[in-house]
Copies of this chain bind each other. A is one copy, B any other.
Amino acid sequence: MVFWSQLGELKLNELKLGEGPVAVRLYQAANQHQGMPGFLNATPSSLGQEAPVPGLAFACAGNAYLYNTVEQVASSDRKVLVQQAEKDTALMNPCILLANCDLKHSTYVYWFGAPAFQLPAGTRVVERAASLASSLGAELAEQVTAASQELFVGDAAPKPAAWFVALPEDTGQRTSVTLRPLADHASLDPGSRVLLAFLDASPAADALGSAARNLLTWAAARWRPAEPVALVSMRARNGRFDPGASTLVRLALPPVAAAPAAVPNWETNSRGKPGPRKADLGAAADPARLAASAVDLNLRLMRWRAAPALDVISLGQARCLLFGAGTLGCAVARSLLGWGVRHLTLVDNARVSYSNPVRQSLYTFEDCKGGGAPKAERAAAALREIYPGVRAEGIVASVPMPGHVTSDAEAAQALQEVQRLEGLIQDHDVLFLLMDTRESRWLPTLLGAAAGKLVINAALGFDGFLVMRHGLGLRDGDDPAKPRLGCYFCSDVVAPLDSTTGQALDQQCTVTRPGLSGIAGALAVELAMSVLSHPEGAAALSGPLAAGGADGPLGARRTCSAAS
């Protein structure tokens, strides 16, 4: 089943809107009672031309077409595809895979084809032997069998579909034979007596299966032996190599090569009629793995058409530190999850109160009981409940604020808090200021600028809001003609003082039109991602952020995104 996941990943991340074809190397089991259902099988590494093939099976090489719509799987022009397979007899046993990957539901609609070549016109049967020994003599038969066993039974890495032996002169002397890969045929004397050994998947003991016909077609097209070719059909039964069931047919090829002709051979569906089948990975797979592959689906799909240059994987690696786990904090955390961010830390020292859950999207009624859960911790837990793969941490801490009088003891504690915040800021790439007072933004603004971190500030009014990116101020070596952005306090004429004491209830609570937090929170994250998606902004993920410049893939702008 993992083959399908890999096909889906290939489509999602590399092919995107492209439909291929991509090379696949499937296999056909010579042992009918083993392996997966279906006449063609795949291993997890079947993508590519060098995929290994399991024992007692032979490789079928060909192309996979990963169509964008499910309708194309059934409606594509299969005749043309078979004709293409006819032209490329290098494939030996050709195969075709038509597929559509529904990555949203982890279902895969697919249709395998294994076109089989017809015997070259004019091929003549010279000899038909029920056993190898009766044709080759006991000794040679045994050597061929032993060599075949070694080559066909193991799970060893890439092996060709068949092997050949240049038979020794019939001198009556003991001779050891060596099976050689077909690719070595160039070194062969055209007049040699040739023996081709192959694994035969044909259910009929006395009929030439498709593997035999494909092999002969291949040989006819390549070296056209003057002498008849002996085809040794090696069999497996009940999971074991069965040399006693092997047969030999000697054929004389026609003097002139005709164009190879294949008969289409498409797999039947579950009702026994030719048609696509469906693989549903969702029903069986591990939920955590399903989530891991599905969770960023929409992000990756952005790169198909909407924003091909967008490096969503790097964006998701931004380590984000959120100051405030209230109305804005919840909205920002959720938007970051949507952007694939997997490392979030929330700082808040409040508890969930009964008025919170209807506006703060990470909390429920249960969280309010018994005095309320600590917001930071509860928010982090809720993020993990949304997607267990996220690394979310809640820090119950307060941010020291100017204007709030502290005693000597409180001052010592505030110093500890500052040091803790400094450490947190160092460990993150992007800071979001999402508190409910002006003065609490002051210290993180300062520390963020000192550490050269990207700082995004958001604040709500009743029917207006502010979303802005902080700059870093002019530094040594900066070009004064290219001033950096300012910060919240640069743009604000009022110093950060105590704004909470003496406030009426409607000034303490977040009295806003309920929709604003969703809008402002989302814009704050979009702004951050636009900055980070910019080539210079992306540097913020590994070092101090450089000044903004031209537009990036998402249109990063130098100016603040502020609404009245």
- Chain A residues proximal to chain B, CB less than 8 Å: 11-12, 16-17, 68-69, 71, 101-106, 282-283, 287, 290-291, 293-299, 301-302, 304-307, 331, 334-335, 337-339, 353-355, 357-359, 361, 363-366, 368-369, 371, 385-388, 462-463, 501-506, 508-519, 521-523, 525-526, 529, 554
Are B354 and A298 closer than 8 Å at their CB atoms? no
**Contact for A369 among B106, B287, B299, CB less than 8 A:** B287
Are A511 and B298 closer than 8 Å at their CB atoms? yes
Are A361 and B385 closer than 8 Å at their CB atoms? no
Are A504 and B365 closer than 8 Å at their CB atoms? no
Are A331 and B518 closer than 8 Å at their CB atoms? yes
Are A301 and B386 closer than 8 Å at their CB atoms? no
Are A502 and B462 closer than 8 Å at their CB atoms? no
By a CB distance below 8 angstroms, the chain B residues around A304 are: 504-506, 511
**Contact for A505 among B71, B301, B502, CB less than 8 A:** B301
Are A371 and B283 closer than 8 Å at their CB atoms? yes
Are A503 and B301 closer than 8 Å at their CB atoms? no
By a CB distance below 8 angstroms, the chain B residues around A358 are: 295, 334, 337-338, 386-387
Are A515 and B522 closer than 8 Å at their CB atoms? yes
In the bound assembly, the distance between CA atoms of A302 and B504 in angstroms comes to 12
Q: Which residue of B lies closest to A524 (CB)?
A: B515
By a CB distance below 8 angstroms, the chain B residues around A306 are: 462-463, 506, 511
Q: How far is the CB of A290 from the nearest CB of chain B, in Å?
A: 5
By a CB distance below 8 angstroms, the chain B residues around A101 are: 505
Are A338 and B365 closer than 8 Å at their CB atoms? no
Are B526 and A368 closer than 8 Å at their CB atoms? no
Are B506 and A368 closer than 8 Å at their CB atoms? no
By a CB distance below 8 angstroms, the chain B residues around A518 are: 331, 334-335, 518-519, 521-522
Tell me which of A102, A301, A515 has the highest count of chain B C-beta atoms within 10 A of its own C-beta: A515
By a CB distance below 8 angstroms, the chain B residues around A305 are: 506, 511
Q: Which residue of B lies closest to A388 (CB)?
A: B365
Q: How far is the CB of A519 from the nearest CB of chain B, in Å?
A: 5
In the bound assembly, the distance between CA atoms of A522 and B519 in angstroms comes to 7
In the bound assembly, the distance between CA atoms of A232 and B380 in angstroms comes to 68
Q: Which residue of B lies closest to A385 (CB)?
A: B364
In the bound assembly, the distance between CA atoms of A369 and B511 in angstroms comes to 38
Are A364 and B335 closer than 8 Å at their CB atoms? no
Given A68-B505, A519-B518, also A357-B335 (CB < 8 A): no
20 contacts between A and B (CB under 8 A): A17-B504, A69-B504, A101-B505, A102-B505, A104-B355, A282-B371, A283-B371, A293-B354, A296-B355, A298-B509, A301-B511, A304-B505, A304-B506, A338-B358, A365-B385, A463-B554, A516-B522, A518-B518, A518-B521, A519-B519
